[in-house]
Structure 1
Amino acid sequence: MQSKKDLSEADIKAKYITPAVKNAGWDENLQFRREVSLTDGRIIVKGSLFSRGRPKQADYILYYKPNIPVAIIEAKNNKHSVRSGIQQALSYRELLEDVPCVYSSNGDSFFEHDFTCSNGKLEREIPLDEFPSPEELWKRYKKLNNIDKSQEKAASQDYFYDSTGRTPRYYQQIAVNRIVESIAKGEKRVLLVLATGTGKTYVAFQSIYRLWKSGIKKRILFLADRNALINQTKTGDFKHFGQALHVIRNKKIDKSYEIYLALYQGLTGYDENKDAFRRFSREFFDLVVIDECHRGSAAEDSAWREILEYFSSAAHIGLTATPKETKDVSNIDYFGNPVYTYSLKKGIDDGFLAPYQVVRIGINVDLQGWRPENGKLDLDGRAIEDREYNIKDYDRNLVIEERTSLAADKITEYMKKTNRFSKTIVFCVDIEHAERMTEALRNANQDLVCKNSKYVMQITGDNLEGKRELDNFQNPESDYPVIVTTSKLLTTGVDVPTCRNIVLDANIVSMTEFKQIIGRGTRLCPDFNKLYFTIIDFRANARNFADPDFDGPPIQESEFEKDDNIDLPEPDNTDQAEDDPGETEEDPLKEGDPDYSPDNSSEQGGEIIETPRKKVVVNGVEVHVLSRIVQYYREDGKLTTKSLEDFTKANILKNYQSLDRFLIKWQAAEKKQAVIEELENQGIFLKELEALTGKDMDPFDIVCHLAFDMPPLSRKERAEKVRKRNYFAKYGDNAQKVLENLLDKYADQGIENIETLDVLKLDPLKNIGTPREIFGFFGDKNQYLNALNLLKQEIYKAA
C-alpha cells in the first residue's frame, strides 16, 4: 500500500482535504473553488518585449455565497508539516482582506488562523473531521466585519451574473462588499478609490444591483458630468437593469423608473426656477452615485453641489481614481476616508493594468530657455518682449513653430520604429495648440493621411467632427483615428483600451490630472496584444512619478501645507495655478470659475469652450533634441533608466547571490525549461539579451556571462565540447545516432527543445524510428530519459 508520504499534493487534496471540506457541509459546486487565480501575474516590459510573472493562485477559496469569501486553504503534500502552508495562505488573505479564516493542511489535519479568535485562539490545529461548516464561517465573517441581523440581507445578497459567467476580480469583490455593507449599516457618505481601468462602473453596477435587489435602496440616481461617461455606462454593465433604467435627457423628468442616469448639466439650469432636479421631491432618491467625484460637484461652492445638497437625505457614494485634496476641494471632507482603495501600482503588480515605459525627450529651448535676438519680430510683425522664455510659456503665451514641428517629428519617428497604427493621444496645452499639433502631425505623416484623412484627428470640446469620431477611437475594432490631439476632453473617463502611446506636450501641475491622463493608457487589451503602453514626455511631467503622492493615499489640506517649500526639478512651472483658466478650455470643472457662463457650456458634452488669448507666434528659431532618456517601470513601482544588461544583472543577483547557487539550481532542475520560465517571470528577457550578445547563446550562458562575468559560450561551442570528449562511445550505434541528433537540435534551437518527448516525432529523429523504437535503443523509456539527463549534464559540464 502506498504511503501517505509518497502521495503528491494533488492526491492529498483529492483523498483528504476535499472530502473533509465536503463532509463539513460545503457544496462543491457552489461554495468552493479550487486553484483560484487571484491575480493575472505582473507584466514586465523591456523595450518592445514583455513577459508575465506568475499569478497568485490559492488552492481553495470557500464562499458562504458566491460573493462572500470566508476561508482560504493552502494544501501541501504529506512530506510537509500541517503548518507549512499557513504563511502562504496568509499572503493570499492580504489580498482578500475581509476573510475571517485561513487554513493549511498536509492531509493529516488542518492548521487554522482565525482572525476572530472565536475559539479563544488565533491559531490552532484541528482534526480533518472538525472543519467548520458554512454557517460557522459565515458567523465569523459577520463578527469580523461587524454585520448585525438587520444588515445581513443586503450583505448576503447575490451578485448579478450574466450569460458570460463573468465574476468580479478579488478587489472588485472587496469593493462591492464594502460599499454594500457600509450602506446597509446606515452610512450616508461612502468613498471608493479604484485606479483607472480597474472597473469602477462594474463595481458601481454590482453595488447598486445588490442594494436594489435586497430592497435596501429603491430609487437610485447615477450622476456624471460628461456625455461619454453616461453613454458608456448605459451600454455597458448598466444595460442589465433593463426596463428599470432611464437616462434623463433634455431636462425631461419621468418619475416612473427606479434607476436613473443623468448629466449634472441635464438636471440644472443654473437658475433655481429652471433646475430640473427640483421636479423630484427631496426624498425621491434614496441613493446617489457620483462618478468621477473629484470633478463636477467636488467644490463646496460648485453649482452642481446643489444637486447633492438637495438630495441630502439619500446615501451618497463617490467613485474616483483620483480623490481631490486641495485647500479648496476635499473629497474626504465630504465623503470621509475611502472604504477601499485599489491603486495603479497594485493594479500593475497584479497584472490587471498595463505597465508603462517613459521616453523623456528634452528639447534645447525647453531645457535652456529661449531669448529673442535684438529686433526679433513675431509673425504679425510685432516686436517680441525681450526676456527669457521657458517651458511654462510655450504654447501658452509664446508659440515656436519649429518646436511644434520637432515634437510631431519625434512622435512620428517613435511610431515608425514601433507601430504606426498604435492608437495615440497627444495632450496639448489648449485647443489652439491641439490645432497646430494636428497640422504638424499630418505633415509628418503625409503618406498615411493621404490614404485616410482620419489618421490624425483633433478631438476637443469645440470640434464636432472630432467628437463624432470618439467612439471609433475608443473601439478596438476600428482602425481610425490613429493619432488624436486633445487638451482636456480625453483626460478622464474615456476608455480607449488599445491606446498604446500617451504623449505629454502640456505642463501638468495637478497630480489629480496627471493620474487621470496616465490612466488613459493603463487598460489592458490582450485580444489586441495591448499589454503595455509608452509615455512620450516633452515637458518633464514624468517627474510626477517620483512624487510620493503619485500612488499614495489622498492627502488632506493639513498635510499639503507641510510641503509648500519643496523645490521641484527644472524646468520650473510651479507658478502655474493647478486649474489655470488660461490653460484649460473644456474642463467641466470650470463651472465654478468666475468667468463661467452656462451659455458656453454644451449640455451634450459638458465641455467649456473659452475664448483663446492672443499668443505671440515666432519662427526661425533653432530647435533640436538635447536629450532622450528611456525609463522602465520597476518591480517596486518606480522608474529606472538602467540598461537592459544592468537591469538583468540586478534581477539575477537578487535571486541567485552567487554563481554556485545558480549552478545548483540549474543542475537540480529535471527540466531546464522550468528555470528558463522562472527567469522570464522575473523580467529577464532572454531572447533580447541573446540578440545583444551577438551569439546563439543558451539561457544558461546568458545568465553566467551577464551576472557572473563568465566567458560566453554559444550553443554550438558547447555541443562541440561534448563531441570532443567522445561522450557517445558508451552507447550502441542507434542510441549514439539519437543522441547526436539531439545534440544538433540543442545547438540549433536550445535546451528546451530537446526536453520534450515530442522532439522524437520531428525531423530528423522521426526518420530514425518511432518513439517506442527509439526507447528500445536505450532499453526502455526510463533509460532513454536517463540518457537525456546525462546528455544535459554533459552539455553544462564545463561550468
Structure 2
Amino acid sequence: MSSEADTRANYIDPALRAASWQPSNLTREHYFTDGRKIAGGGRGRRCFVDYLLHKDNRYLAVVEAKKESEHPTKGLQQAIDYANKLRVRFVYSSNGKQTYEFDLETGKGNFIEFYPTPAELEKRYTVETTDLSQELRNIPFHLEGAMQSRYYQELAVHAATDAIGQGKSRILLTLATGTGKTFIAFQIVHKIFQARWNLDNPGSRRPRVLFLADRNILADQAINTFNPYEKDLIKINGEEVRKRNGVVPTNAHIFFAIYHAIAERENIDGYYKSYPKDFFDLVLIDECHRGAANEAGSWRAILDQFSSAVHLGLTATPKRADNVDTYEYFGQPAYVYSLKDGINDGFLTPYRVKRVRTNLDELVLTKDDVIVEGESGQDLYQVEDYDRKIIVDERTELVAKAILQNINPLEKTIVFCENQNHALTMRDMINKYKSIKDQYYCVRVTSDEGKVGRELLEKFQDNDKDIPNIITSSQMLTTGVDARNVRNVVLDRTIGSMVEFKQIVGRGTRVFDGKDYFTILDFRGATNNFYDEEWDGEPEAPEQGGTREPTSPLYTPKPIEDGDGPMLEPAEPRARLKVKLGKGRELKVIDIETRYIDENGKPLTIQEFVERLIQQLPGLFKSVDELRDIWSDPDLREQLLAKLVQAGFDEEQLSTLRRMFEADDCDIFDLLAFLAFEQPMATRKSRVEALRANNAFFGQYQQEKARQFLHFVLNRYEQSGVTELARERLPTLIELSGLGTTKDASMAFGGKPAQLLAAFKQLQHQLYHVS
C-alpha cells in the first residue's frame, strides 16, 4: 500500500523539479512550532508542512501530500491554517494523481496540471516589493551559537523591514509578552546597519537609532540584547551627560534612553532638544502602548522632535482608549502574534485559574467592628473596595494564608496588590505565616524600594536562585520584567484595564524547563477579563463621540521617579477608612474553583470541562469492559493516562473532576466509567473490601509474607489511590511493607521476580473485576 512518503518521492518531487523548483527553493517536512506544553513535560503536536516553497527569503506556498488512495484535498483545511500562520497565500494539496491549488487571497481553488515556477508564483504576490525591501530581506539574521529564530520573529522582522523599504514612517508590531520583541528589534537594526540604510543618503553611512523605554530595567534588558553592537551603543542619561560637561553624547549609532530621563532636565529643556531634529533615522518605542501616542504624554514631545525619523512601536497590548490610541498614531500593525498563538505553538506557557472567594468579599460593618481611622461612607463594601475605600488588615491576612496554602513553598510567585501600602501589608502577612525561614523569602518590590528593590528583583529573576521566592508589588512589575520561572501570578487587585490585565498575565507565560503551566490565583474576580471579547483579540475602534473614561476614577496617577524611570503608581485612596473587625467574625475561604483554559484562552466552566472530556473518551475505549481491562493492567493504564494528557486532561485535572462529582473516595476508573457509560461509581474502600473477602485469590499464595504484602498494597491503594498501583511503585511498596529487598519479596512469591510482578498485576485484575 502506498504512503504519503511514496506520493512525495514518486509524484510531487518530480513535478516540482519539472517546474524549476530547486532544493534551495524548498524545505521538506518544515516544522515551525514546538507544540503546546502539556503536563509531565510533554508536548502537543508540532505544526509542520510537507513542503514549504520559498524564493528570495519570502515564503510562497505550502504543499500537503496525501496517500495515493486518499482524496487529494483531504488535508487542505489544516494546510490552509498553517499557511495563514506562515503568511503564505497559496496552498497545494496532492495525492500524486491530482493536485489542487487554493488561493487564500481570493478564497478560490481548482485542480491544476502543473505547479507554477518560482518566478511565476512570486509575480502573483501583490505586495509591493522595493529594491530596499528585498535587500533587507536578504541580509541574514545575526544569530550566535545555538540561537535560532522562530517563524513569527522572522515574519515580524520582514514585515517591519518591508515597511521601511516601502518608505512608511510609522510602523507597529504587536506581539505577546515573552515572544522576544527586543530580539526582533535587534534583528531589524542589524539589517538596516548592514544595508547602511539612512534617511539622508542610503548607503552612505550607518543609521542612528534611538531606543526608547519607560524604565531603566527595560532599557538595560534591551542593551544586553544589542550586545553584539556594544561598540556602537550608548545610554543617554544624566551620568553620561555630566561626564561630557553637559553635552549630550553623539558619537554612537544606537542610543538607549528612558523617556523621562531625556524629557526633563532640572526644568530646563530636555536633553532630546539638544539633538538636531533630523539626527535619528529610526526611533524604536518599547511598550509603546504606555503613552507614546498620547499628545499629552512625555513621549509625544520626543517623537515630535524627531518626527522625520521612522517610528517603530513595539507592544503586546495596543490601546484604543484612555486618550491613547496606538493605532491612530502608528496605523494598523504590520504584524500581530497573540498570546493564544504563542501558547498553542508552544513558545509560551499555558495557565490555569484558581478563583478564590472569601466570606469577606462582601462586608457589612457591625457595631463590633472598630473604625481605626476615617469614617464609613457606605453600608456595604464589595471586594473591589478593599485597599481603595476601606483597609481591613484581617482580609489581607486571610488572603496571605490562602496564597501560602495554594502554592508550592519554593515556586516563584508575584502578588499584585492595589497600591504600595497594600503590598507592604501583604508582604508582612506572608512573612508571618511562611514555612521558609529565610528573611528574604517574601519581599516587596515597588518604586518606593528604589535601588534595594531593583537588586531584590534581579535576584528573583535569577533562575538559579530560590530566594526571593515571593514578590509583592503593585504597578512596577506589570510590564517587561523577564522572570522566566514564575509559577504563580496572584491577583489581589481590581483590574479594570484590559491592557494592564494582559501585561500581568504575561508575567507567567515565559517558558522554563519543567514548567508545564503557571497558575493565576485570583482573589478579586479580575480573571473575568478572560471572558471579555477584547481578550487576546484586536481591539475595536472607539465609538464616535470620545474615548472611554479611565477605569480607576479613585486613583490619581502620578509620575514617580524611583531610580528606575517613571511609572504610574496608584495614588493612595483619597478617603481612608481603616477598620479592625470584631473578634466574633469567622474569617474563611469559602470556595476555590479551578478553571482550565481552552485553546482560545477562555477558562472552561465545569460543564464545558466535563463535556470536553466526554467527547474525547469514545476514541480511547469502546465499552466499560474494555476500560476495565485497560485499567486493571498497570502498563495499559499508563498508556491510557498518557493519551488523556495528550487530550488535555492530566492527573490534577482528573482529580479536580473527582471533586466536582464528590468522588474523592472513588477511583479515576469509576469517574471515567460514569462519564462515558453512566456506570455507578464504587468507592476504593468497597472495592478493597470485596477483594479481601476473596479467599480463593489469597489462598493461592502459600507464604504468609506474600499475603501480607498484597494486603499492604490494598491498604495503600485505599488510602492514596491508583498511583500506588503503578509498576514503578513496586520497589517502594516492597521497602515500605518491611518485606526487605526485591529479591526477598520475590522469594515470598516463588523465588522469581516475574512471579512477584505477576501477583502484583493479578491483584489489580481482581480489584477491578470484583462484582
Q: 1:433-469 deviations in whole A, cap 9, x for unaligned?
A: 1111111110011x41xx3211000101011322211
Q: CA deviation at 1:337?
A: 1.7
From 32, 42, 45, the counterpart of 1:54: 45
Q: 1:352-375 deviations in whole A, cap 9, x for unaligned?
A: 2222222222222322x232428x
Return closer, same or farther for 1:461/1:581 CA change in 2, 3 Å cut-off: farther
Q: Paired residue for 2:703?
A: none
CA contact (8 A) 1:53 1:680 kept: no
From 148, 151, 160, the counterpart of 1:179: 160
Q: Paired residue for 2:678?
A: 709
Q: 1:391-425 deviations in whole A, cap 9, x for unaligned?
A: 3432223211211111111111112xxx1111111
| Whole-angstrom distance in 2 between the partners of 1:383 and 1:301 | 37
From 162, 165, 171, the counterpart of 2:144: 162
| Whole-angstrom distance in 1 between the partners of 2:725 and 2:619 | 31
Asked if residue 76 in structure 1 is aligned to residue 66 in structure 2, the reply is yes
Asked if residue 484 in structure 1 is aligned to residue 465 in structure 2, the reply is no
From 229, 233, 250, the counterpart of 1:245: 233
Q: 1:68-126 deviations in whole A, cap 9, x for unaligned?
A: 322212122222244444333222112112x2322223344644335579xx9953323
Q: 1:129-161 deviations in whole A, cap 9, x for unaligned?
A: xx4444444444xx3323244543234433223
2:613 maps to a residue whose letter is N
Note the 1:505-516 alignment, pairs <5 A: 505-516=492-503
| Whole-angstrom distance in 2 between the partners of 1:687 and 1:518 | 22
From 575, 597, 616, the counterpart of 1:633: 597
Q: In structure 1, the residue corresponding to 2:415 is in which secondary structure?
A: strand
Q: In structure 1, the residue corresponding to 2:533 is in which secondary structure?
A: coil
Asked if residue 443 in structure 1 is aligned to residue 467 in structure 2, the reply is no
Asked if residue 370 in structure 1 is aligned to residue 372 in structure 2, the reply is no
| Whole-angstrom distance in 1 between the partners of 2:628 and 2:26 | 37
TM-score, length basis structure 1: 0.75
CA contact (8 A) 2:375 2:577 kept: no
| Whole-angstrom distance in 2 between the partners of 1:712 and 1:378 | 53
Q: Paired residue for 1:398?
A: 390
Q: CA deviation at 1:494?
A: 0.9
CA contact (8 A) 2:388 2:554 kept: no
1:200 maps to a residue whose letter is K
Asked if residue 459 in structure 1 is aligned to residue 470 in structure 2, the reply is no
| Whole-angstrom distance in 1 between the partners of 2:522 and 2:390 | 20
Q: CA deviation at 1:624?
A: 2.9
Asked if residue 468 in structure 1 is aligned to residue 455 in structure 2, the reply is yes
| Whole-angstrom distance in 2 between the partners of 1:276 and 1:56 | 49
Q: CA deviation at 1:666?
A: 13
Asked if residue 618 in structure 1 is aligned to residue 613 in structure 2, the reply is no
2:649 maps to a residue whose letter is I
Q: In structure 1, the residue corresponding to 2:543 is in which secondary structure?
A: helix
Q: In structure 1, the residue corresponding to 2:156 is in which secondary structure?
A: helix
Asked if residue 91 in structure 1 is aligned to residue 81 in structure 2, the reply is yes
Q: In structure 2, the residue corresponding to 1:354 is in which secondary structure?
A: coil
| Whole-angstrom distance in 2 between the partners of 1:7 and 1:768 | 47
Structure 1 spans left out of the alignment, 5+ residues: 1-5, 565-575, 585-589, 592-599, 725-746, 751-762, 770-795
CA contact (8 A) 1:327 1:557 kept: no
Q: In structure 1, the residue corresponding to 2:414 is in which secondary structure?
A: strand
| Whole-angstrom distance in 2 between the partners of 1:115 and 1:688 | 39
Return closer, same or farther for 1:364/1:82 CA change in 2, 3 Å cut-off: closer
Q: 1:4-46 deviations in whole A, cap 9, x for unaligned?
A: xx33323443454445545655554x5433333333333457x
Q: Paired residue for 1:409?
A: 401
Q: 1:696-743 deviations in whole A, cap 9, x for unaligned?
A: 9898x875543122478999999xxxx99xxxxxxxxxxxxxxxxxxx
Q: Paired residue for 2:134?
A: 152
Asked if residue 519 in structure 1 is aligned to residue 519 in structure 2, the reply is no
| Whole-angstrom distance in 1 between the partners of 2:521 and 2:320 | 27
Q: CA deviation at 1:351?
A: 2.7
Q: Paired residue for 1:283?
A: 278
| Whole-angstrom distance in 2 between the partners of 1:242 and 1:323 | 31
Q: Paired residue for 1:500?
A: 487
Asked if residue 429 in structure 1 is aligned to residue 421 in structure 2, the reply is no
Return closer, same or farther for 1:165/1:11 CA change in 2, 3 Å cut-off: farther
2:28 maps to a residue whose letter is R
Asked if residue 8 in structure 1 is aligned to residue 3 in structure 2, the reply is yes
CA contact (8 A) 1:245 1:260 kept: yes
From 627, 644, 648, the counterpart of 1:683: 648
| Whole-angstrom distance in 2 between the partners of 1:268 and 1:346 | 37
Q: Paired residue for 1:266?
A: 261
| Whole-angstrom distance in 1 between the partners of 2:640 and 2:568 | 57
CA contact (8 A) 1:372 1:386 kept: no
Q: 1:612-663 deviations in whole A, cap 9, x for unaligned?
A: 56833322343333333222212343212417xx735533326749986999
Q: In structure 1, the residue corresponding to 2:53 is in which secondary structure?
A: strand
Structure 2 spans left out of the alignment, 5+ residues: 199-206, 242-247, 630-635, 698-723, 728-745, 754-767
2:551 maps to a residue whose letter is E
Report the count of equivalent residues.
683
Q: CA deviation at 1:306?
A: 0.5
Note the 1:489-638 alignment, pairs <5 A: 489-525=476-512, 527=513, 529-558=514-543, 577-578=550-551, 580=553, 582=555, 590-591=558-559, 601-602=561-562, 604-607=564-567, 612=572, 615-621=576-582, 622=585, 623-638=587-602
Q: CA deviation at 1:559?
A: 6.8
Q: 1:658-717 deviations in whole A, cap 9, x for unaligned?
A: 9869999999xxx99987755432213368749957899898x87554312247899999
Q: Paired residue for 1:782?
A: none
Q: CA deviation at 1:519?
A: 1.2
| Whole-angstrom distance in 1 between the partners of 2:577 and 2:681 | 59
Return closer, same or farther for 1:561/1:296 CA change in 2, 3 Å cut-off: closer
Q: 1:554-612 deviations in whole A, cap 9, x for unaligned?
A: 233217979x8xxxxxxxxxxx953557375xxxxx44xxxxxxxx5245433467875
Return closer, same or farther for 1:666/1:199 CA change in 2, 3 Å cut-off: farther
| Whole-angstrom distance in 2 between the partners of 1:703 and 1:203 | 46
Q: Paired residue for 1:312?
A: 307
Q: In structure 2, the residue corresponding to 1:104 is in which secondary structure?
A: strand
**Identical columns (%):** 35
Asked if residue 211 in structure 1 is aligned to residue 192 in structure 2, the reply is yes
Q: In structure 2, the residue corresponding to 1:640 is in which secondary structure?
A: coil
From 606, 624, 629, the counterpart of 1:642: 606
Q: 1:756-789 deviations in whole A, cap 9, x for unaligned?
A: xxxxxxx99xx999xxxxxxxxxxxxxxxxxxxx
425-434 or 705-714, larger mean C-alpha shift? 705-714
Note the 1:195-234 alignment, pairs <5 A: 195-217=176-198, 218-234=207-223
| Whole-angstrom distance in 1 between the partners of 2:556 and 2:589 | 25
Q: Paired residue for 2:94?
A: 105
